Amino acid sequence: MQWLNLLNANIRKEYIELKRYLPNTIALLLTFYIIFLAAFFGIMFVGDPASFEVNVQYSIISVAFWSLTMMTMNFIGFAIVTEAMRGTLEQLYMSPLGVWKIMLTRIIAQFILQMVFMVILLFAAMLTSGQWLNLNPMTTLPIILITMVSMTGVSFMIAGLAIIVKQIQAFLQIFQFVLMALVFIPISVAPFLAFAPFVKGVDMVRTIMIENITLTQIPWADYSFLIANSIVYLTLGLVVFRSCEKVAMKKGLLGQY
């Protein structure tokens, strides 16, 4: 019940703040749409006409996933920095539930809200391009949810770093391009990227959406790999976060900015 109340409080807070910063949110959504348009017109004018449809579909999914990963993963780093600046970070540390739980519920809240934006972006992109993807939630959602676990792990690593370093905005700006590369580069071109967080999941969702296949048509080995990848990154993320917390408490960094 405590978990539920915590989740409820954080979803509510994120939603309220999103509403109050609505112009920012719309501007961000427009940015991603413009990036998609650039990719779309690039493919239209200089791409191979034979693979036009597939390329457009590929870029639609990639831009949408880039927005989701970036907004969810960078969010927590920015959140920690903002909390430290506001002076609320120490107050969060007064919660007997633990900050990792608060941050986890915030990531979930942000993920839910960003999913809504991702769907809006997907439809806007599909309408513009006239290319329609398989958006069946019964097939895509389970994989997205498992993929989200590894994203959460990386988010915790960023959060840990933010607690100690605080001024990580420059790093986060570079990181968004790293995320872009991870989302856009196909695993078939760089198979080792499957070991990176969320890349395998994005690849699987892309295959489902473009090739219109069902969950049962994906090999079990792929599911096993995806689940193992997510568990490893989540565990690693939590270990890094807890270690950074200990360092911050030892050095007195929680209240500093």
Partner 1 sequence: MEAGEDEGFVEKIIEVHGIRKSFKKRKTKEIITAVNDVSFDVHRGEVLGLLGPNGAGKTSTIKMICGLLQADEGSIHINGLDIQKRRLKALKHISAVLEGNRNLYWRLTVRENLEYFAGNRGLSRKEVAAQIEKLLSQFHLKDKENELVNGLSRGMQQKLAIAVALLANTEVILLDEPTLGLDVEISYELREILKTIVKEEKRTIIISSHDMPVVQELCDRTIIINKGTVVVDERVENLLKLFETRAYSIKLGDALSEAQQLKLQRKFPLSTYKVGTHQTTVEVNLEHSEDIYELFDIFKEEGTQVESIDRITIDFEQVFMEIVKGEKNYAMA
Residues forming the site for partner 1 (CB under 8 A): 1-3, 5-6, 8-10, 12-13, 16-17, 20-21, 86-88, 90-98, 102, 246, 249-252, 254-255
Number of H helices and E strands in the chain, helices first, is 9, 0
**Minimum CB–partner distance for residue 19 and partner 1 (Å):** 10
Nearer to partner 1, 2 or 216 (CB): 2
Nearer to partner 1, 3 or 132 (CB): 3
Are 95 and 248 in contact by the 8 Å Cβ rule? The answer is no
Nearer to partner 1, 8 or 214 (CB): 8
How far apart CA 9 and CA 5 sit, in angstroms, is: 6
Are 55 and 47 in contact by the 8 Å Cβ rule? The answer is yes
| Residues ≥6 apart with Cβ < 8 Å to 110 | 14, 71, 72, 75, 76
Nearer to partner 1, 109 or 199 (CB): 109
**Minimum CB–partner distance for residue 114 and partner 1 (Å):** 19
**Minimum CB–partner distance for residue 110 and partner 1 (Å):** 15
**Minimum CB–partner distance for residue 104 and partner 1 (Å):** 12
23: three-class secondary structure by DSSP: helix
